[in-house]
A = this chain, B = another copy of it.
Amino acid sequence: MPEAALQKAKDYKNDVEPIWCPGCGDFGDLAAFTQALAAMQLTTSDIAIVSGIGCSGRFSHFIKSYALHTAHGRALPTAVGVKTANPKLTVFVVGGDGDGLSIGGGHLPHAARRNPDITYLILDNAIYGLTKGQTSPTSPFGMVTGTSPTGLEDPPLDPLRMFLSYGVGFVARGFSSDVKGVAKMVQAAVEHPGFSIVQLISPCPTFNQVITFDFMKERVVPLPESHDATSLDAAFRMALDAEHFYTGVFYRNDSLPTMEAKLDVQRKHTMDRQPRTLDALIAQY
Q: Any chain B CB within 8 A of the CB of A105?
A: yes
Q: How far is B150's CA from A265's CA once the two chains are assembled, in angstroms?
A: 9
A157 to B156, CA, bound (A): 23
> Is the Cβ of A266 less than 8 Å from the Cβ of B113?
no
Q: Looking across the interface, which residue of chain B has its beta carbon closest to that of A237? A: B233
**Stretch in A87-95, A158-166, A196-204, A246-254 touching the partner:** A158-166
CB-CB under 8 A from A149, the residues of chain B are: 270
A and B contact pairs by CB, cutoff 8 A, 15 listed: A105-B106, A110-B137, A113-B137, A113-B155, A150-B269, A150-B270, A151-B269, A153-B262, A153-B266, A154-B262, A157-B166, A161-B165, A162-B165, A164-B165, A236-B236
Which B residues are in CB contact (< 8 Å) with A72? none
A102 close to chain B: CB less than 8 A: yes
Interface presence of A109 (CB below 8 A): yes
Q: Which residues of A contact B (CB under 8 A)?
A: 101-107, 109-110, 113-115, 137, 149-151, 153-158, 161-162, 164-167, 236, 257, 262, 265-266, 269-270, 273
Q: With CB as the reference atom, state the residue of chain B lying closest to A156.
A: B113
The reply to whether B165 and A165 contact each other, CB–CB distance below 8 Å, is: yes
Q: In whole Å, how far is A109's beta carbon from the nearest beta carbon of chain B? A: 6
Measured between alpha carbons, how far is A11 from B104 in the docked complex, in Å? 43
Chain B residues within an 8 Å CB radius of A102: 110
Q: How far is the CB of A35 from chain B (nearest CB, A)?
A: 32
**Residue numbers in B under 8 Å from A162 (CB-CB):** 109, 162, 165-166
CA distance A101 to B108 in the complex (A): 11
Cβ of A168 to closest chain B Cβ, rounded Å: 12
Which 10 residue pairs are nearest across A and B when measured between Cβ atoms? A106-B106, A150-B269, A165-B165, A153-B262, A161-B165, A113-B154, A105-B106, A162-B165, A150-B266, A109-B157
**Cα A12 to Cα B153 with chains together (Å):** 37
Select A109's contact among B107, B137, B257, B265, beta carbons within 8 Å: B137
**Cβ of B270 and Cβ of A153 under 8 Å apart?**
no
Q: Which residues of B contact A114 (CB under 8 A)?
A: 154
How far apart are the CA atoms of A114 and B109 in the complex, in Å?
A: 20
Separation of A134 and B257 alpha carbons in the complex (Å): 22
A105 touches B113 (CB 8 A): no
Residue of B nearest to A269 (CB): B150
Task: Give Cα A114–Cα B155 distance, bound, in whole angstroms.
Answer: 8
Considering only CB atoms, which chain B residue lies closest to A148 in the complex? B266
Q: Which residue of B lies closest to A263 (CB)?
A: B153
Question: In angstroms, how far is the closest chain B Cβ from the Cβ of A237?
Answer: 9
A161-B165, A165-B158 are known contacts. Are A265 and B153 too (CB-CB below 8 A)? yes
Q: A105-B110, A113-B156 are in contact. List 17 more A-B contacts (CB 8 A).
A: A101-B109, A103-B106, A104-B106, A109-B137, A109-B162, A110-B137, A113-B155, A113-B157, A149-B270, A150-B269, A153-B265, A157-B166, A158-B165, A158-B167, A162-B162, A162-B165, A236-B236
